[in-house]
Amino acid sequence: MNWRSLEKLDRRWLFLAMALLVAGPLLWPVGLPIVVSSPVQRFHDAIAAVPDGSPVLVPCDFDPGSRPELIPMMKTVLRQLFDKKCRPIVTCLWPGGPALVDQTLESVADEYRARGVPLESGVDYLDLGYKSGNEAVMVLMGQGIARAFPRDLRGRETRSLPILRDVGDYSSIPLLVSISGGYPGTKEWVQQVNARFHLPMVSGCTAVSAPEYYPYLQSGQLRGLLGGMAGAAEYEKLRGEKGSATRGMDAQSLAHVFIALCIVLGNVVQWRRGTGGRS
């Protein structure tokens, strides 16, 4: 093998290889078998254990940068909740996210409406939209959801909405499902809401932030965890769905193997150069 040419490899070849390895499986999926891990099983079971018809708080704190990882899990969460006749109450503490979150919520509600399930905004689900203040908003919601969000995303007075008729503060909500892309997100919901108001929580987050939440998972403060697209794909498998996370796992698989090869090859080239120099 010509190691010298590898030493001087133009990084654009790496970019091209990565692009092909990601695009290929997206166009022609292979369908590799997915094994469900324990944190994902626990995430699914925690939502399944919520009494049917309950209001469930779903803070979706992300923006379009996290779309491929978090939108699939958000959709599956909403489907699981709607199947149980639960009433998701969605918020977003990221200024770049509310429109994307609302589009996703409405697209899932439209799926159900197309199947003849008459879901209505403000009755069966609610999008409270964005509010600035990060942790302060989380604590403020402990005094009353409608107090922290006097109007929803559509400008309606939240106190008059049927969905909030039996919802005061966190004590009337059995579960919080945090879909988190970073700060503010799962960590802050654990610290400000789980720790203070003892509201049970599960989290779906980006792969890069998942390791940060493992201590909360082990301590029981998080009852389940979906880490990135892999977690979303496992969750889709549990729910019997073949969504975009499942389709994306082939591409992510090849990208991971390629990066692993890059690490190994880069070091082999380095060692070859080192031993060549000594000889």
- Sites of contact with another protein (CB under 8 A): 9, 11, 14-15, 17-19, 22, 32-35, 37-38, 63-68, 96, 98-100, 102-103, 106, 129, 131-134, 136-137, 139-140, 143, 148, 153-155, 196, 207, 210-212, 214-215, 218, 227-228, 230, 249-250, 252-260, 262-267, 270
Shortest distance, CB of residue 98 to another protein, whole angstroms? 7
Looking at the Cβ atoms of 196 and 242, the one nearer to another protein is: 196
The least CB distance from residue 262 to another protein, in Å, is: 4
The nearest distance, CB 261 to another protein, in angstroms, is 9
CB 73 within 8 A of CB 232: yes
Indicate the residue among 36 and 79 with the shorter CB distance to another protein. 36
Residue closer to another protein (CB basis): 85 or 151: 151
Q: Are the C-beta atoms of residues 242 and 250 closer than 8 Å to each other?
A: no
Q: Is 143 or 172 the residue whose CB approaches another protein more closely?
A: 143
Taking the complex as a whole, the smallest distance from the CB of residue 132 to another protein amounts, in Å, to 5
Question: 68 vs 84, which CB is nearer to another protein?
Answer: 68
Q: How far is the CB of 22 from another protein (least distance, A)?
A: 7
**In whole angstroms, how close is the CB of 20 to another protein at the nearest point?**
12
Name 133's Cβ contacts closer than 8 Å, sequence gap at least 6: 93, 140
Residue among 75, 13, 80, 57 at smallest CA distance from 168: 57
Looking at the Cβ atoms of 106 and 111, the one nearer to another protein is: 106
| Nearest residue (CB) to another protein, 85 versus 214 | 214
The token pair that represents 234 in the structure block: 């496992």
Distance in Å, CB of 165 to another protein, minimum: 23
